Every structure is written in C-alpha cells, then in structure tokens.
Structure 1
Amino acid sequence: MIGSMTYGQDTAQQWMKFELSFESDSLYANPLYDLEEFYAVFTAPSGKKHKINGFWDGGSNFKLRFMPNEAGEWRYETYCSDPKNLALHAQKGNFSCEKSASKHALHQKGNIIHIDGDYHLSYANGDPFFWLACTAWNGPLKSTEKEWDDYLSQRKQNNYSAIQFVATQWRGADVNSQLQKAYSGQGKIKVNPGFFQHLDKKVDKINEYGLVAAPVLLWALPKGEGKELSPGYALPQEEAIKLAKYMVARYGAHHVVWFLGGDGLYVSLFEQRWKNIGQAVFGEEHPGVVAQHPMGRSWIGDAYADEDWLDVVGYQSSHGIGSGTIDWINKGPMKKKWHKLPARPLINLEPCYEEIYFRTTDTHVRNASYWSLFATPVAGISYGANGIWPWIRKGEKILNHGSLSEESPSTWRESLNFPGSLQMGYLAEFIQQFKWWELKPDHELLTQQPGEQRSEHYVSLLRTDDYSTILVYTPLQTAIELRNPQNIDYKARWFNPVKNSYTEAELKSAGNLVQATPPAEGDWILILEK
C-alpha cells in the first residue's frame, strides 16, 4: 500500500485533495461490475466519520481521494466487497492534516455547500459564494496544458468563480485530444482510466486557480446529431449510475458542483429515470453540491421540489434573443415559483452564448444575464461564448451541432476578450459590493413596467427586506418611477455595466415616489442605498 499526497506534500492540507494508492492482490476483468464496493471510512480529529468511495485506476491500481475538512490527526480504514483481497480490505492508516498554505478562498473558507433555507451557495465556513461560471464544455478534453493555464488565469483575473465542462465523450467531442473515450460499450460498459488520468490534470488546475469545477457527468440531450455519444441519453439507467458514481469517487476530493445531467429533458417521459439516477448516485452522504442543467426553456423546479439530493435548480434560457425567450426569463416559472418551492439557488446555467448564430452580441448577453440574476433571489449566473465552449482553434468547426457546424466561430482565445466575456466579470465585481445574498426581486415597486409593451424593455428590481438597498436594471434609457413605502432618503448612483463605471444619479422625490432617468443610452443599474 502506497500513500501519496497531491502537490508533493508529505502531509495533507485542509480543503485540498489527499490521495491514497493501493495495488490490488486480484485482477478484475471489469472492476465496475466485478467489485461491488471499495471505500474507506475516514475519522476526523473531532471524531466525525466520512465514508469515501474509491475507484479503479487501471490494471491492479486502485485509489481513494479525500478532502480533509479539519486540521489535525486523521485515521482511516478500508473496506472491500472482496474480503479476500487483503490489499484493498481492512487496510488501516493515519495521516496529519495542516492548514492550507493556499491563499485562495476555496482553500481557506472550505468547500462549496448549500445551507438549508438559503437561495445561494456558501463556503463551508458559512460565507456566501457567488456563482459566475464560464462554459468550457470541451476545454479539459481538447486543450493543451498551456492553453488551459492561459484560460484559467484569464478567467480568475476577470472574477469568474467556476468552470463548466463535460467529463466524458459527448455529442460535441467524440474523443479527447489523446483520441480517448471515457468509456466503451452501450450496454455493459468499461471505463477507460487513461481518459480520466488526462482529465485529472485539468480538474486539478481548475482548483489550483481557486475556481470551482462543475463537471457534467452525463450529457443527456435526447435529440440531434451525435445523441448516441451522450451517456445520459444513450446508456441504460444502471450503466449511467455506475459511470456517474465512478466520476464522483474520482473527483469528489476536488472543489466541485456536480451537473448530474447536461442539456437533458428531466421531466415528462424521462422524469423517473433521472430521479432514479439522482437518488442512486447522490442519495447518501456524498462530496460536492448537485445541480441539473436542463435543455432550453425546460423548468424542473416543481417536479424536483421533493428531491433532497438536488441542491441547485439550474435552468437554461436558451440561445433565443426574441420576445419568447425574454418573457420566459422575466415572466416565466422562475419568477412565479421561486417563493413557493423549497429554498434552493436558482441559476441560469446557459443564457445565450456570445456570437452564437453570429447574431448574439454583448448587449444580448448582458440583458439575459442581468434579467436572470434579478428574476430570483441572487445566486449567480453562467457565461458562454460560441468559440469557448467547443474550444475552437483557427479553422476548426463545431462537431454535431447542425447549422452551428457550418461556419467557424471566433477562436476560444479571441472569445475570452469578447465584450460580454469581460462584462460578466464586471457584473460579479458589481454585485459583490452589496450583501447580495439578501437581495430578492420585488417588481411591484415599479409604478410602470415598460416590458409590458415591449419585452426587450423589461425593467427588473431587487431589494433587501428592509428596503435599505434597491437595485434596478433597465435595458434602455427610460425614466424609472419607484414606490418608496418606507420614505427613505436614498443616496443614488448609476452603474454602467459596459464601462464598469459609476455616475451620480439625480433623484426626484414626490410623496412616497422616487424618479430617476439614466444619464445616457444603453442599459444601466440604478443603485439606491440608505
């Protein structure tokens, strides 16, 4: 038995990956099926116990990965469903865990959790965590080490906090850069440890930059070219469960938010299938927070209200820029239902991609993102660009995506500096100056709603419970009139989401009403503070 530490450390570091390696006495033809269980119980200095599943890493190699959440002396004992395999069964050991030397918030405040009753995510110490994710579905699969470093460095510098990616082959990438698949077979499957060893380095890097990894375990779109490549659609239920459990064991020691499915239909015909998968994979104690990433304009909040394994109600507003999509964001189920369902973060995990169909601009991206952020209690938003998610290099085209595959978009590197890509960083910086986790929508404060006449003119509003802070997003230069039920004497500013700048606001008061008009054309946020 060999104990090894990540990043070359002799002892474990709190809130970082700790790894143990084992060489099995027996060779199994297909460990996914032949070995029912291999896990360890880790006992913390406080006495609390954590059951952590291990995984096969090729040949006779097995591993256990764990993120210690306490400093001090830990001990562990392994269990194997093949008790004759003494190299895996009843192995005991201990190790020392020190405070992390990393200055990143993840390694100081702890892993991401959802606290019951909250509409946002938090660090383990209770501090709120704001979600700003970049969508790099193919990034870990296709990128070189230098490309991945460059990408993560730029995202971190621009206030992103999470990276969304696909963890297997799927319709957008049939193999990785090493021409490997995550698994083979459509009935009984076999995982390919080489594929995941390549992925390990990319996931490690995400956390090294202080970013949360958000892997899609089972891409699931049930239609279109390449759907047979997507495990969430193509695999039988039991095989999908085994594959997902394997990845949870492999990456559970990382800072992760799991996307159980990607782009799937999780209601109607497929609802019970996905509830079964979710319960089987995440029904017991598990590392990480769980979200679902549905197909465009599909709402799962009501159907999954009683599914305790689901922590985040994700949604995808789709890549439309017309009134149907705008109304779905501003007047749809998120706005109508959030306060009637169990408290969970509600996050638009896929608003319109910048440059998709060569028509979507930074204005469309900003509109969709701010509207989404203001439609429910604030939790976060995701960004995507049509050259980043498929990891396009010069001359390359997108795989299996119909008309999107006909013409090459801008490269991933060019797309990093798109206006909307940078402006989402401004959004994160802007909202985090406030106690954003206390902000909830209250459009009733508006005396008039321009969006009733034209969808693209919809004005959104957030406020704290005590009315001490009010934020109003307007997509155009138009007069705003608000009710002021507390008759508060507000200080007022305008925020320019394009230039990341502030301007004093001229506020007019009349009785319990206040009025303000943006200083120039374009979209603005009015800030009212007591």
Structure 2
Amino acid sequence: MAGRLRLAPGGRYLLDEAAAPFFWLADTPWSGPLLSSEEDWEQYLADRQRKGFTVIHCVTTQWRATPASAEGEVAYEGSGPIRINHRFFDRIERRVRAINDQGMVAACVLLWDYGPPDRTPGELPERYAVELASYIVDRLWELDTVWILAGDGDYTGERARRWQRIGRQVFEGRDGLVAMHSNSMSWPYDAFEHEPWLHVWGYQSGHGDDERTIRWIYSGPPTTRWRELAPHPIINLEPPYEGIRAYQSGRPHTDYNVRRAVWWSLLSLPPAGVGYGAHGLWSWETEPRVPIEHPNSGVAPTWREAMALPGSAQMEHLGSLVRSLPWWELRPAQELLDRQSERPEGHIAVAAALDGGLMLAYTPLGEGISLRHTPATAKWFDPRHGTCLPAEVGLDGAYAPPSREDWVFVAGDESLLPKS
C-alpha cells in the first residue's frame, strides 16, 4: 500500500508512506469512475495492480468525453451559482476508494480545462471553480490521492495567473500533493516555479508522430528547463495512447510508439515516473465507437479489449526493471555517448547515476551503443518481453543489440544489474 505520498528530499521524486522511493507508473482510465460498473472497475483495477501500476489517472466530474455518469448524473449544474450533486460523488468516492483498496494511488483531475463550456469545469468563474474543487478535495480527503487541479489546459499568460489564484485558494492550509496536467507539447511551469501549493509538474507529449513531436519528447522544454528551475517531480502524464490515431499521419499509435516515448521521457530528465494510456480505456468504451468530442481519434475498442493491448504488459516490464534499480539517482548523461544516431527517430537517450555506478541507454532502432568509457558489466534488457541478455563490446568499440529492435542497455556495478 503506497498510502499518502510526499516529496522526497531534494524535490525531484516522490516517497510513499513508508518513506521509500515511489515510482509513478500510471494508467489512464479518465472516464472509468463515471462510467464503470463496480464489477468491471474491480476487474480492471486487479489487472493493473498485477501489472505493477502504482497510480490511476481519473476525472472526477463530467468532462469533454463524458457528459454524465452511467446513471445520467452530473457533478454540478449551472455556471454561477452552481448546484453540486452529492449523489454523483457517492459513485466517484466508491471508485476512488477501490483504487486504494488495490494498493494504488488515485490521481484525480478536479477541473478539466478543455472542451464545451457545459462540461468543462475549468471554465467556471473563479469563485465557482474554487467552490467545486474544494468540495471534491474535502469529499475525498481521507483517501490516498494526488490532486490534479486542472487537466488538458493552457496555463500560460493570463491563464497561468487564473490557475495560480485558484490553486492558492483551494489548497491554502492543506498538505496534500498537487499536480497539473498541461495540454499537448506545452511547458507552462516557469510561471509556477514558486507556487507552494503545486508539487508535481505534469506535461503531455501528446499523440503526434511527426518529426517535431519526436524531437520534442527528448529535447523539448521538460528536458532542459529542469536544470534551471527549482526541483520538482516532472512527469510525462500523457505520452501517446496505444491505438489512438496520430495527429499527423492518422495511423494508430503502436505499442512501439508508446515504448519509445516512455523510455525517452524517463531517460531525458530526472525520472519520477510516467503515464500510459490505451484507446478505448481512457474513455471507458463499452462498445466500439469513436469517443465523444474526439472525432479524429479513430474507432476505439471496448475498455476490456483495450486493457489487454500489449503496451500495458510492456509497462509492467518497464516498472519491474526500474524498481529493481536505484532509479531516483539517475540524471540525463548524453555526454557518456560517443556516437549518436543520425536519425531523429533513432535518438539514443542516456541516463546515469551521479556516482557512476549505473547507466541506462535506450536505442529505439536497435543501433549500437558506443560509449566514451567501457563499463565493467553490461546487459541488454528487452522492453517487449522483460528478459535480459549479456552485452559485449564489439571490435568497433560499440555494443551491438541482439536485434534491430528497440533495446535498453543497462551497465554498471554487477550487483545492481538485473539477473534475468
């Protein structure tokens, strides 16, 4: 049981209730608490618990993709004053409690901030946005939660000042952890650096697949600004969802696309965790269809089919490897690499512990790893199946992966390396 989370000393990752480093490995059934039956929700949570997920992302009101709960209830009516529906929150509270019962933490979006005005609580006048968010926090306060104050919004300029004011009013005098979830490929957190109520800086690399998106994941503001700003856990809460259509090509994102974005995100800034999502699960579809208000996302499978997509098992492998290592000591270390891929989509991401005892590198195209210094011991980790093979340096001074697929290179003290 993770229990109540808190910031670690130094501020770059989280601790669980027992003061152990907590790796944020999240699945994203945004609409699950609104639409699921109790039996289906329990089945889903048991699957995610078995696969090692530690956090469940969810929305706590009606929102863009889900106008009402399965019973036709809404969280509130009106835009000023508002009428809060306590019966709606009976359902939400039961679903959040079930997350905790499986030993996972609920990351609850309080005020989704993009979509039609009648189901976008982030667009409420400030006093009513504060009223609604405060009610939800009070209602769920005894549960193990991280509050995502706002979801999918633009938090720059005057919008940043608006959310600063809302955050101060909702969380003044409270000690729970608070995050934000920004819109695709944006970085608003320079403006939030000194907001004491905000602890986790959540961003989304989004669902694009063009070269600009690819480069942004490993060289965009999240990978550079952490060096200049006050330490915070920085987490890609929304890499591409498995199965959703990509913005540019229109092709469904594969498990490979998801793996690549996730591994790049973890090794390109101090790791604190990562999110995962599957098309059909995020919107909790009970029959194949295009999700509401997402016409370009493609026909989604049912949540049950989406739950079984291969990416979630690969997140299990990722979590097992990362949690077996002192991951919280890793920092980006591209300087250790002697030769980089010539292709943007082949970018080799490298991170290492400051004491030199551990290094990880991700090669998305199965290109060799050429280092400035030869490590004592090294292994190849297969991110598709979770197995390990020995790694040996070739005559050209590079470590050649076992196949021309993506691999994770793990090197350092033999006592730290995975055994199989």
Alignment TM-score > 0.5, same fold: yes
Please give the alpha-carbon distance, in whole angstroms, between the structure 1 residues aligned to 2:182 and 2:339: 33
Q: Deviations over 1:371-410 (max 9, x none)?
A: 0011111111000111101101124441112323xx5311
Please give the alpha-carbon distance, in whole angstroms, between the structure 1 residues aligned to 2:181 and 2:30: 12
1:500 aligned onto 2:383: no
The equivalent of 2:400 in structure 1 is 517
2:335 equivalent among 437, 444, 449: 444
- What secondary structure, in the 3-state scheme, does the structure 2 residue paired with 1:173 have? coil
1:177 equivalent among 64, 70, 77: 70
- The answer as to whether partners of 2:108 and 2:146 remain within 8 angstroms in 1 is yes
The equivalent of 1:308 in structure 2 is 196
Following superposition, the deviation at residue 318 of structure 1 comes to: 0.9
The equivalent of 1:262 in structure 2 is 151
1:317 aligned onto 2:198: no
Q: Deviations over 1:163-210 (max 9, x none)?
A: 101100111111101110101111110110000011111111000000
Q: Deviations over 1:275-325 (max 9, x none)?
A: 001111113233x21000001011022111111111001100010012111
Unaligned runs of 5+ in 2: 246-250, 414-420
The equivalent of 1:26 in structure 2 is none
The percentage of aligned residue pairs carrying the same residue is 40
Following superposition, the deviation at residue 257 of structure 1 comes to: 0.8
The equivalent of 2:368 in structure 1 is 479
1:464 equivalent among 339, 353, 368: 353
Following superposition, the deviation at residue 331 of structure 1 comes to: 0.8
| Counterparts of residues 337-352 of structure 1 (less than 5 Å) | 337-352=225-240
Following superposition, the deviation at residue 438 of structure 1 comes to: 0.6
1:123 equivalent among 4, 13, 16: 16
The equivalent of 1:353 in structure 2 is 241
Q: Deviations over 1:30-71 (max 9, x none)?
A: xxxxxxxxxxxxxxxxxxxxxxxxxxxxxxxxxxxxxxxxxx
Please give the alpha-carbon distance, in whole angstroms, between the structure 1 residues aligned to 2:21 and 2:385: 26
Q: Deviations over 1:58-115 (max 9, x none)?
A: xxxxxxxxxxxxxxxxxxxxxxxxxxxxxxxxxxxxxxxxxxxxxxx32xxx411113
Please give the alpha-carbon distance, in whole angstroms, between the structure 2 residues aligned to 1:314 and 1:227: 24
Which deviates more, 129-138 or 439-448? 439-448
The equivalent of 1:194 in structure 2 is 87
- The answer as to whether partners of 1:116 and 1:343 remain within 8 angstroms in 2 is no
- The answer as to whether partners of 2:108 and 2:145 remain within 8 angstroms in 1 is yes
Q: How many residues align?
A: 408
- TM-score, structure 1 normalization: 0.75
The equivalent of 1:373 in structure 2 is 266
| Counterparts of residues 227-266 of structure 1 (less than 5 Å) | 227-233=117-123, 235-266=124-155
- TM-score, structure 2 normalization: 0.94
- Give the root-mean-square deviation of aligned CA atoms: 1.5
The equivalent of 1:85 in structure 2 is none
Deviant stretches of 4+, over 3 Å: none
2:325 equivalent among 420, 434, 446: 434
The equivalent of 2:416 in structure 1 is none
Q: Which has the higher contact order (CA 8 A, sep 6+)?
A: 2
1:335 aligned onto 2:218: no
Following superposition, the deviation at residue 509 of structure 1 comes to: 8.7
Unaligned runs of 5+ in 1: 1-104
